[in-house]
Amino acid sequence: MSQERSYSFEFFPAKTEAGHEKLLSTARELAAYNPEFFSCTYGAGGSTRDRTLNTVLQLDGEVGVPTAPHLSCVGDSKAELRELLTLYKNAGIKRIVALRGDLPSGMGLASGELRYANELVSFIREETGEHFHIEVAAYPEMHPQARNFESDIANFVRKAKAGASSAITQYFFNVDSYFYFVERVRKMGVEIPVVPGIMPITNYSKLARFSDACGAEIPRWVRKQLEAYGDDSDSIRAFGEQVVSEMCERLLAGGAPGLHFYTMNLAAPSLAIWNNLKLPR
């Protein structure tokens, strides 16, 4: 059963040469586990345009794992998006993660011609037909800017109807929120796979900051224990590994169609979970 599931790893483009070398070495280590794909994030507004492009082409070509660029529509014009799509298509890239994106603070209001991810999905389909497998984002705990849960579900349905092939969730630590979300979208007639996004826990203060920004809730019993470990990073890692591994076990046992690891460009935290779960290699 597990062979049919999709396991994938996400990276962000490095800012320095040393960071890029580290990313490549992480990617080579993870490639040995035969993931379905890698993905590489994109700075909304084009801030990582060249770095994302180069990283994707290198991971796909040299490291040899099919790699999906993330593409966001806020801050990019249709012409810029079209150019990137053409570059990726000509390079043999077959999968894209299509997002609205969040402009970095200080970049002003969104200047792109496409305002929401469903418009980007439609644009990609109009421009490239069925060439790309299109991934979209899903939010089991609701996107932080959504008016309410219902409107966020309606937005997800719009993305699926616009032509998304599958979805990756924002990370979460509450398994029920994932199953509830999937049940809700199935009732709306959406059948695309929704793969849980998994964030290994390695550093409490960073995790707390990210989680505040993206609307992921750290359950009190997890937060309190992480806080109590203070600077003891070995204990944070060990506890985090146990919590996230158990969560993944429950997700897979409940029928999740795979796992997408937010690696933060590190191999060990994702592999510890992978090995605990005895996932196929």
241 forms part of the interface with ligand FAD (CB under 6 A): no
Q: Which of 7, 46, 57, 70 binds ligand FAD (CB under 6 A)?
A: 70
Q: Which residues are catalytic?
A: 10
251 forms part of the interface with ligand FAD (CB under 6 A): no
87 forms part of the interface with ligand FAD (CB under 6 A): no
- Nearest distance from C-beta of residue 192 to ligand FAD, angstroms: 14
How many binding residues for ligand FAD (CB under 6 A)? Answer: 23
User: Which residues are CB-contacts of 102 (< 8 A; sequence separation ≥ 6)?
Assistant: 44, 74
Residues 16-55 that bind ligand FAD (CB under 6 A): 41-42, 44
Residue 90 CB neighbours (<10 A) = 8
DSSP assignments along 59-124, one per residue: IIIII-S-EEEEEE-TT--HHHHHHHHHHHHHTT--EEEEE---PPTTS-S---S--SHHHHHHHH
Using the minimum distance from each CB to ligand FAD, give the nearer residue, 149 or 229: 149
- Is the four-CA dihedral 176, 177, 182, 184 of positive or negative sign? positive
Nearest to 69 by CA among 90, 54, 47: 54
Radius of gyration of the chain (CA): 18
Residue listed under structure tokens 């985090």: 240
- Phi/psi for 143 (5° steps) reads -65, 140
Q: Which of 51, 95, 100, 237 binds ligand FAD (CB under 6 A)?
A: 100
- Nearest distance from C-beta of residue 163 to ligand FAD, angstroms: 14
- Nearest distance from C-beta of residue 41 to ligand FAD, angstroms: 3
Inter-helix orientation angle 149-161/117-128, to 10°: 0
The SS3 of residue 134 is strand
258 has which bridge partners? 6
Using the minimum distance from each CB to ligand FAD, give the nearer residue, 139 or 204: 139
Q: Decide if 44 contacts 101 (C-beta within 8 A).
A: yes
- Nearest distance from C-beta of residue 100 to ligand FAD, angstroms: 3
Binding region for ligand FAD (CB under 6 A) out of 99-107, 182-190, 247-255, 268-276: 99-107
For residue 105, give Cα distances in angstroms to 38, 54, 81, 276.
Answer: 28, 25, 22, 39
Using the minimum distance from each CB to ligand FAD, give the nearer residue, 164 or 236: 164
137 forms part of the interface with ligand FAD (CB under 6 A): yes
Using the minimum distance from each CB to ligand FAD, give the nearer residue, 57 or 168: 168
Residues 106-135 that bind ligand FAD (CB under 6 A): 116-117
Alpha-carbon gap, residue 71 to 137, rounded angstroms? 12
Residues 183-202 that bind ligand FAD (CB under 6 A): 197
- Nearest distance from C-beta of residue 166 to ligand FAD, angstroms: 11
Using the minimum distance from each CB to ligand FAD, give the nearer residue, 168 or 207: 168
Contact residues for ligand FAD, defined by CB under 6 A: 41-42, 44, 70, 72, 97, 99-102, 116-117, 137, 143, 145-146, 151-152, 155, 159, 168, 170, 197
